[in-house]
C-alpha cells in the first residue's frame, strides 16, 4: 500500500513540473517577442519570430568566413597506391670503401666528396685521396664545430654547419665551398623562425631551384624538411614529413624524390638503420608556384641489414654515372647524444665506410 501511494505522488509531481515548465517557456517567448530595442551585442527578436543580428554581428557577416581547420589539402590516399609503397629501386651491395670522414658523402663529375665533423675531403673515381682540409671554419664569424651531410652542385660543396655538443645545436648556417680548393666562398644564414633547431644534412634540388635541409633533433624540428632558394639563399618554407623517420642523418635529391638516411636502429641490439624517401616533384616548375604541398608521406626504401656491423648511419648520395646508391656508415664507437663516446669491444678507433649499392629500377 505504501508503495502504491508513493507511485501516485511521483506521477502527480512529474505532471505539475511539466505544467510549470510550459508556463515559464510561454512567458519567456512572449517577453522576447515584445522586445523592440536591445543593447549592443544582444539578440533582438521581431514580432513575427524572425531574428536579426546586432550591429557588431552584422558587420562580421559581411566579411568572408574563416574556415578552420582548412579543408584537406591532400588528394588521394598514399596507402592505397601500391606502386609508391614499393621501393623505387632494388639494391645489391657492390663495394665498401673506407674513408677519413664520419659525416657525409657526395658524388659529382666522377669525384667523391666526404665530410667529417671538422674536415672536407675529395677522392677520385677509385677512392684515391686528392684533397683534404681540416680547417673548414676559418672564415666563420660565429663559433661552429660540426659539418653534417653534404652535397655538390656545379663545382661547389653545400654543407649545413653548426655548433653541436651533446645533442644540442646553435649557430646554424648554410656554407658553400669551392669543390676544387675546398675553401669556403660564402654562407647563408638560416631562418630561426622555421623551428629548425639542428642541421644534419643538406641537398641541392636543381629541378625546383631549392636547397633542402634536415634535422636530426627529436621533436618538432625533426618532423620537417626546410627549403631555401638555391639562387638567393632566402627561406621558402618547410615540408611536413608524414610519418617522419627518427633521427634523420642525411638527405639527397634524385629524380623528384628526397632520399633520407635515419639512425633509427639500436646498434647495441643489432637493429639496422634505414633509407626512406618522400616525393618533392611538385615543387618543380613555375606552374606549381604558390601551390606547393605542405606535407609529404614518407616511404621505406631500404633496410640496411648488410653493412659490416650495425653502428651509426650518416650521409647519402647517388653516383649517377655508375647507377649506385652511396651510404656512409660508422662502426666501432658508442654514440651518446649524437657524439662518439668510447668504443665497443675489439675497437680502438671508429671506422668510417661508404657502402655502394648497384641499383635496379623496380
Average pLDDT over residues 127-149: 93
Same domain, 310 and 191: yes
**Tens digit of pLDDT for each residue in 145-183?**
999 999 999 999 999 999 999 888 999 999 999 999 999
CB of 130 within 8 A of CB of 122? yes
19 and 144 belong to one structural domain: no
Q: Is residue 205 part of a domain?
A: yes
For the segment 192-220, the average pLDDT, to the nearest whole number, is 96
pLDDT in tens, 15-56: 444 444 444 344 444 444 443 444 443 333 344 444 444 444
Boundaries of domain holding 262? 88-361
Is position 68 within any domain? Answer: no
Q: Are residues 329 and 264 in the same domain?
A: yes
- Per mean pLDDT, which of 164-168, 215-219, 358-362 is the most reliable? 358-362
Taking 60 as the threshold, does the pLDDT of residue 12 lie above it?
Answer: no
**Longest Cα pair distance anywhere in the chain, in angstroms?**
108
Q: Is 273 exposed, middle or buried (0-12, 13-18, 19+ CB in 10 A)?
A: buried
Let me know whether 10 and 109 are in one domain. no
Look at residue 202 and tell me whether its pLDDT is greater than 60. yes
> Which residues neighbour 95 within 8 Å (Cβ) at sequence distance 6 or greater?
355, 356
Please state, in angstroms and rounded to a whole number, the distance separating the CA atoms of residues 44 and 35. 7
CA distance linking residue 135 with residue 120, whole number of Å: 9
pLDDT at 216 over 60: yes
Do 287 and 347 have their domain in common? yes
Give the chain's domain count.
Answer: 2
Contact (Cβ atoms closer than 8 angstroms) between residue 207 and residue 256: yes
Give the confidence band of 286 by pLDDT, cuts at 50, 70, 90: low
- Please say if the pLDDT value at position 199 is more than 90: yes
Give mean pLDDT, residues 181-200.
Answer: 95
55 and 161 in a single domain? The answer is: no
Let me know whether 155 and 35 are in one domain: no
Report residue 65 as a C-alpha cell: 568566413
Q: Which of 191, 198, 180, 71 is CA-nearest to residue 144?
A: 198
Q: What cell numbers appear for 204 in the block?
A: 641541392
Residue 267 lies in a domain: yes
Given phi > 0 = left and psi -120 to 50 = alpha, else beta, which region is 290? Answer: left
Mean pLDDT of the chain: 85
Which is more confidently placed, 244 or 76? Answer: 244
Which pLDDT does position 71 carry in this prediction? 73
Residue 352 pLDDT exceeds 70: yes
Polymer length in residues for the chain:
362
User: What pLDDT score does 37 carry?
Assistant: 41
Give every CB contact of residue 43 below 8 A, 6+ residues apart in sequence: 51, 53, 54
Q: Would the pLDDT of 132 be above 50?
A: yes
Amino acid at each position: 500500500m505504501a508503495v502504491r501511494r508513493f507511485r501516485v505522488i511521483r506521477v502527480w509531481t512529474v505532471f505539475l513540473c511539466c505544467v510549470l515548465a510550459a508556463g515559464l517557456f510561454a512567458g519567456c517567448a512572449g517577453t522576447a517577442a515584445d522586445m523592440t530595442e536591445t543593447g549592443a551585442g544582444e539578440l533582438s527578436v521581431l514580432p513575427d519570430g524572425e531574428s536579426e543580428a546586432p550591429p557588431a554581428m552584422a558587420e562580421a557577416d559581411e566579411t568572408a568566413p574563416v574556415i578552420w581547420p582548412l579543408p584537406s589539402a591532400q588528394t588521394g590516399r598514399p596507402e592505397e597506391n601500391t606502386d609508391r609503397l614499393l621501393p623505387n629501386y632494388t639494391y645489391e651491395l657492390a663495394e665498401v670503401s673506407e674513408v677519413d670522414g664520419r659525416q657525409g658523402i657526395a658524388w659529382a663529375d666522377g669525384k667523391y666528396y666526404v665530410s667529417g665533423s671538422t674536415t672536407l675531403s675529395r677522392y677520385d673515381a677509385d677512392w684515391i685521396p686528392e684533397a683534404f682540409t681540416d680547417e673548414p671554419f676559418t672564415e666563420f664569424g660565429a663559433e661552429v664545430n660540426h659539418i653534417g651531410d653534404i652535397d655538390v652542385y656545379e663545382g661547389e660543396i653545400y654543407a649545413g654547419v653548426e655548433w653541436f655538443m651533446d645533442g644540442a645545436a646553435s649557430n646554424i648556417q648554410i656554407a658553400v665551398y669551392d669543390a676544387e680548393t675546398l675553401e669556403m666562398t660564402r654562407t647563408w644564414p638560416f631562418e630561426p623562425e622555421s623551428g629548425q633547431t639542428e642541421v644534419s644534412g643538406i641537398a641541392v634540388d636543381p629541378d625546383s631551384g631549392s636547397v633542402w635541409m634536415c634535422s636530426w633533433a627529436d621533436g618538432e624540428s625533426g618532423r620537417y624538411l626546410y627549403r631555401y632558394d638555391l639562387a638567393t639563399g632566402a627561406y621558402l618554407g618547410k615540408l611536413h614529413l608524414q610519418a617522419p623517420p627518427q633521427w634523420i642523418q642525411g638527405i639527397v635529391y634524385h629524380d623528384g624524390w628526397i632520399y633520407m638516411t635515419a639512425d633509427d636502429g639500436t646498434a647495441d641490439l643489432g637493429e639496422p638503420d634505414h633509407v626512406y624517401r618522400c616525393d618533392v616533384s611538385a615543387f618543380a616548375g613555375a606552374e606549381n608556384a604558390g601551390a606547393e604541398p605542405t606535407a609529404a608521406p614518407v616511404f621505406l626504401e631500404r633496410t640496411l641489414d648488410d653493412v659490416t656491423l650495425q653502428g651509426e648511419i650518416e650521409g647519402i648520395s647517388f653516383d649517377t654515372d655508375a647507377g649506385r646508391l652511396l651510404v656512409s656508415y660508422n662502426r666501432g664507437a658508442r654514440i651518446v647524444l649524437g657524439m662518439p663516446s668510447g668504443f665497443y669491444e675489439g675497437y680502438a678507433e671508429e671506422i668510417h665506410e661508404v657502402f655502394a649499392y648497384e641499383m635496379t629500377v623496380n
